[in-house]
Amino acid sequence: MSLPSDGQHWHSGHYAKHAGFVPTFGLQVVALLAPQPGERILDLGCGDGVLTEALVKAGAEVIGVDASADMIQAARGRGLDARVMDGRALAFEAAFDAVFSNAALHWMTEPDAVLAGVARALRPGGRFVAECGGHGNVAAITVALLAVLARRGIDGRAAIPWYFPDPDSYAAKLAAHGFVVDRIELIPRPTPLPTDMAGWIETFGGGFLGQLPAADRPAALAEAMDLLAPCLRDASGRWTADYVRLRFAAHRP
Ligand code: BEZ
């Protein structure tokens, strides 16, 4: 969850309440990584450290990095080695057996700088195992937020705070940075929300609604929910987010 754009501020408490499912699903990515005792692992975009802790429990030596000081404070509260760091400027050289990342790479909208840093951080033979939002992720939510901005004369497309690559283009980027791609796939994963769409948008939609005067944001939020309800709210009032994951495993030769 590194590198929030302008208007996106992280609050570990909101995140745990409205997106507590993120580390739960992330355990599948931990399983794909298959951390081994004694391995040195970098958790890129570690957030509040729930999955970093799972890697430590598997016996690995783990460093977590995230751009959000609030998240890093929460991760340190778990007793983890967690550091505030910009994903575009990873300060490690051949230091890790693996780099792991869950639900974070899509916030890092300069992927080449990130991949260069990951390649640098890994020892030869080291692996890069990750999942992030992929092509089509939260498409309905994004269109609804763009629509409420458009009604107010704002074209929000240039300021979309997310990067959701398709497998072919991301595989090409990995290869360009010297990785061998072992697998890469797009996984549609409609995700029931633990609270509701207002909580999700308030937690993650700051890059959109933050462009509006504060007094107008509640009305804009209500309009976005009204647009989304026919697609993402079921008959019992439960909301689902239209998540699509890009999951991959690659290694440095
Ligand atoms: C995601 O995990 O795919 C995601 C979360 C919040 C905003 C955008 C994407």
Q: In this structure, which topology does domain 12-251 adopt according to CATH?
A: Rossmann fold (3.40.50)
Per-residue pLDDT tens, the chain, 253 aa: give them: 332 334 567 677 777 777 778 788 899 999 999 999 999 999 999 999 999 999 999 999 999 999 999 999 999 999 999 999 999 999 999 999 999 999 999 999 999 999 999 999 999 999 999 999 999 999 999 999 999 999 999 999 999 999 999 999 999 999 999 999 999 999 999 999 999 999 999 999 999 999 999 999 999 999 999 999 999 999 999 999 999 999 999 999 9
Q: What is the pLDDT of residue 13?
A: 75
Q: What is the pLDDT of residue 8?
A: 64
The protein residue whose alpha carbon is closest to atom 3 in ligand 1 is: 133
- Asked whether 247 lines ligand 1 (CB < 6 A), one says no
- Asked whether 104 lines ligand 1 (CB < 6 A), one says no
Q: What is the pLDDT of residue 21?
A: 81
Q: What is the pLDDT of residue 5?
A: 36
Question: Measured in angstroms, how far is the CA atom of residue 124 from the centroid of ligand 1?
Answer: 31
Q: What is the pLDDT of residue 19?
A: 74
Question: Measured in angstroms, how far is the CA atom of residue 242 from the centroid of ligand 1?
Answer: 10
Q: What is the pLDDT of residue 126?
A: 98
Contact 130, 105 (CB under 8 A): yes
Question: Measured in angstroms, how far is the CA atom of residue 200 from the centroid of ligand 1?
Answer: 9
The protein residue whose alpha carbon is closest to atom 4 in ligand 1 is: 133
